[in-house]
């Protein structure tokens, strides 16, 4: 059933006072968490009494966007239009939105705006001239828009419409989405269809989806988007594609969303305009200066470039005997006159079999710390390998102190079951952000480092690889939307609890009925640990099948580069399992502060979460629970499968409260997840049992098939597979 018909049915039900069951009206997920639905009494009466009219500041593209959002939302929730009063008018129950500059009434209210900066907002219930009003105020128009979304979230999540006291400002300057979208419409590691950017029809045709994309990002405070893949095609910088990017920038601008582009370091020569791309060559330097000038002519508020260089075959300054700082500084100098940022990814590793891949990024960039221009930011993945289900924090956080660092998370679940497995990433993000690096004593958390509270930095930021595509629900599944949402909220405030964010998302996406919310939030908060258990418990990592990273492959050992092979990481043999990163191994532990290194060196540290990441231990190694490692592994794999079973039962109990379309999709995905959790469990235990020459511990069922059966499972044309 389409969205319009769905709204009409619910509007009619609300007007007549009839009950409209959730399962009677299907929803396709397009509205995301901006899902404004008719309110039922007494809630509707309370909101109607508190929102009787709007007063808006002087029109601008951003103020117009704010006005449209409030009018759209309250028309849907109250089933009627809320009148708009002229500037200077006010009534009991007025909602007043503006800045001191565009609405004199805001200046008269004496609101606490001085500490809110350019993007912060204040939403307050107060009395003015004897009338009850709600003020949505900020220092800038974009702050007003953010405040409008905060006001709507307060209403959507059941807050008292007559008692509001909200004030918030972002803790990080840059809050970016990284799209790994290619110019041919494919998306690397994308599991929700094709790229939403239709490069073929841009700039002439502007899909409404682009506006709704910008609305969704503004609603959680995301303020920048990198349009294309870090494995960048040089053609993104030709005139044709820059015109297309400029059109998207025009669409996004009212929503505070700046455009960034990933660029190929070898663009001057790859486009055939120069014979070299050597950053020390004056002609190359001038080429980039001219290109930056061209970009800013088309997009005056362009954010900057993102670069992946000398990594996984991408060209970079190393091709010309130059280091990363020399390459980054050349691009930064081209952007600097225009106020642009150069974001340089620190995801690099070589193919030396004697070098631990986990150590390479810090080894490469630590000697260069302090040599980058002040408009260069290093973008560092949350862990030292590659978005694994669980990784220790990258040692760069706390060890690189003179160059601003941008955290890089991954929203798209490349290694986490892709689109079909329910894995709410809020707890995983939270685990990283709260991690205490001890780099400047106790309390030196990653969050504080990112916010510039430990090592002062001119610009702060965070980024995440998007999971967005052309699927009607945007993300290839309802619960995948929650990962986009929680990332945005944590980008605004890295210290916000993941559980509270999940609760808001459930209320906005489904219903605020307490039993429903409690059940779904419990599912979400336990889902990541469940996935870790059935995939890679106790610090195992990179045990996926090759290329597409779909399904288990702990036996893979034949790939050209040693660090692409799962056996490189599990090191399983008849004596034990795990990667020795202690002083008598790769010594990766030495890259952390002494206090953290000591905890990692303790095999029981951190509740054994990272045991096999840092230690090669015997199969009979005693765990704190009293079991041997072999028994513990079997137990964790079983707990993972059982965890999915519990989620299936919980979801089934909610059938009467969810529309049938979304209910059936989640139900089917949980069935897929359960089947694949058993696949992971059986394949991994079959392999490790064979390697260890040990039967499964007593009480644990044998795998459903032979090891040879699991080794022969292969996939072609998997979604998001760059091959």
- Domains of the chain, earliest start first: 25-168 (3.30.379.10), 174-509 (3.20.20.80), 533-579+616-712 (3.90.1330.10)
For residue 723, what pLDDT is reported?
A: 58
Main-chain phi, psi angles of 268, to 5 degrees: -55, -45
Q: What is the pLDDT of residue 10?
A: 52
- How far is it, in rounded angstroms, from Cα 580 to Cα 588? 9
Kindly list the distances between the CA atom of residue 78 and the CA atoms of 19, 37, 71, 75, 657, in Å, as whole numbers in the listed order: 16, 9, 10, 5, 21
pLDDT at position 326, please? 98
Q: What is the pLDDT of residue 254?
A: 98
- Give the model's pLDDT for residue 7: 53
| Alpha-carbon gap, residue 53 to 177, rounded angstroms | 35
pLDDT at position 720? 83
Closest CA to 694 of 630, 646, 605: 630
Distances (CA, A) of 338 to 225, 304, 326: 18, 9, 20
Assessment of whether the complete model's pTM goes beyond 0.85: yes
List residues with catalytic annotation.
Answer: 312, 386, 414
pLDDT of residue 716: 82
Encoded tokens for 112: 């606490």
- Please check whether residue 35 is in contact with residue 118, taking contact to mean a CB–CB distance below 8 angstroms: no
* Positions of the chain with pLDDT under 70: 1-24, 351, 722-723
pLDDT for 21 equals 47
**Looking at residue 22, what is its pLDDT?**
46
CA angle 108, 111, 114 (to 5 degrees): 115
Pick from 86, 209, 97: nearest CA to 146: 97
Four-point Cα dihedral 681, 599, 433, 181, nearest 10: -50
């Amino acid at each position: 059933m389409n969205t319009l018909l769905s709204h009409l049915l619910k509007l009619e039900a609300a007007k007549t006072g009839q009950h409209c069951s959730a399962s009677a009206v299907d929803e396709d997920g397009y509205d995301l968490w901006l899902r404004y639905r008719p309110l039922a009494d007494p809630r509707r009466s309370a909101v109607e009494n508190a929102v009787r009219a709007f007063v808006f500041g002087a029109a601008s593209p951003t103020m117009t966007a704010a006005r449209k959002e409030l009018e759209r939302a309250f028309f849907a929730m109250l089933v009627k239009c809320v009148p708009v009063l002229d500037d200077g008018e006010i009534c009991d129950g007025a909602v007043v939105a503006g800045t001191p500059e565009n609405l004199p009434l805001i200046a008269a209210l004496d609101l606490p705006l001085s500490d809110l900066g350019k993007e912060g907002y204040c939403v307050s219930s107060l009395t003015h001239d004897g009338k009850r009003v709600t003020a949505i105020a900020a220092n800038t128009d974009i702050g007003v828009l953010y405040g409008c979304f905060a006001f709507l979230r307060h209403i959507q999540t059941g807050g008292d419409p007559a008692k509001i006291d909200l004030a918030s400002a972002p803790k990080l300057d840059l809050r970016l989405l990284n799209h790994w979208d290619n110019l041919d419409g494919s998306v690397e590691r994308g599991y929700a269809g094709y790229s939403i950017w239709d490069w073929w029809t841009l700039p002439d045709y502007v899909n409404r989806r682009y506006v709704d994309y910008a609305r969704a990002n503004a609603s959680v405070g995301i303020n920048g988007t990198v349009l294309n893949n870090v494995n960048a095609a040089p053609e993104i910088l030709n005139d044709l594609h820059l015109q297309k990017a400029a059109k998207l920038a025009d669409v996004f601008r009212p929503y505070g969303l700046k455009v960034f582009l990933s660029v190929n370091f070898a663009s001057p020569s790859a486009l055939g305009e120069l014979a070299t791309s050597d950053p020390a060559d004056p002609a190359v330097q001038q080429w980039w200066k001219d290109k930056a000038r061209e970009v800013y002519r088309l997009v005056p508020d362009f954010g900057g470039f993102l670069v992946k260089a000398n990594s996984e075959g991408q060209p970079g300054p190393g091709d010309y005997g130059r280091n990363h700082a020399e390459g980054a500084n050349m691009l930064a100098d081209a952007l600097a006159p225009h106020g642009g940022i150069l974001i340089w990814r620190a995801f690099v590793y070589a193919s030396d079999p004697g070098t631990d891949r986990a150590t390479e990024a810090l080894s490469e960039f630590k000697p260069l710390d302090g040599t980058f221009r002040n408009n260069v930011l290093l973008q560092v993945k949350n862990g030292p390998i590659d978005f694994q289900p669980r990784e220790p924090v990258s040692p760069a956080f706390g060890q690189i102190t003179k160059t601003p660092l941008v955290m890089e998370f991954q929203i798209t679940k490349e290694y986490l079951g892709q689109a079909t497995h329910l894995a709410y990433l809020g707890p995983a993000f939270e685990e990283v952000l709260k991690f205490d690096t001890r780099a400047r004593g106790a309390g030196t958390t990653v969050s504080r480092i990112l916010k510039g509270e430990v090592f002062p930095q001119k610009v702060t930021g965070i980024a995440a690889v998007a999971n967005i595509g052309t699927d009607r629900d945007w993300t290839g599944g309802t619960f995948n939307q929650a990962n986009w949402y929680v990332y945005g909220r944590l980008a605004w405030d890295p210290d916000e609890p993941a559980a509270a964010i999940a609760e808001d998302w459930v209320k906005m996406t489904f219903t605020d009925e307490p039993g429903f919310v409690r059940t779904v939030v419990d599912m979400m908060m336990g889902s990541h640990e469940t996935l870790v258990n059935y995939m890679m418990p106790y610090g195992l990592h990179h045990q996926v099948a090759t290329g597409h990273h779909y399904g288990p492959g702990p036996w893979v050992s034949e790939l050209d580069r040693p660090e692409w092979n799962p056996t490189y990481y599990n090191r399983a043999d008849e004596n034990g399992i795990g990667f020795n990163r202690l002083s008598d191994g790769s010594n990766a532990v030495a890259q952390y502060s002494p206090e953290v290194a000591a905890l990692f060196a303790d095999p029981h540290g951190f509740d054994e979460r990272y045991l096999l990441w840092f230690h090669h231990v015997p199969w009979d190694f005693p765990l704190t629970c009293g079991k041997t490692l072999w028994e513990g592994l079997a137990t964790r794999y079983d707990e993972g499968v059982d965890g999915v079973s519990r989620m299936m039962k919980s979801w089934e109990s909610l059938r009467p409260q969810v529309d049938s379309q979304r209910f059936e999709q989640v139900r089917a995905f949980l069935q897929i997840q359960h089947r694949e959790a058993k696949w992971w469990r059986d394949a991994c235990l079959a392999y490790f049992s064979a390697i260890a020459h040990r039967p499964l511990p007593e009480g644990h069922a044998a795998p459903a098939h032979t090891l040879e059966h699991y080794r022969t499972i292969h996939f072609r044309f998997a979604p998001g597979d760059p091959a």
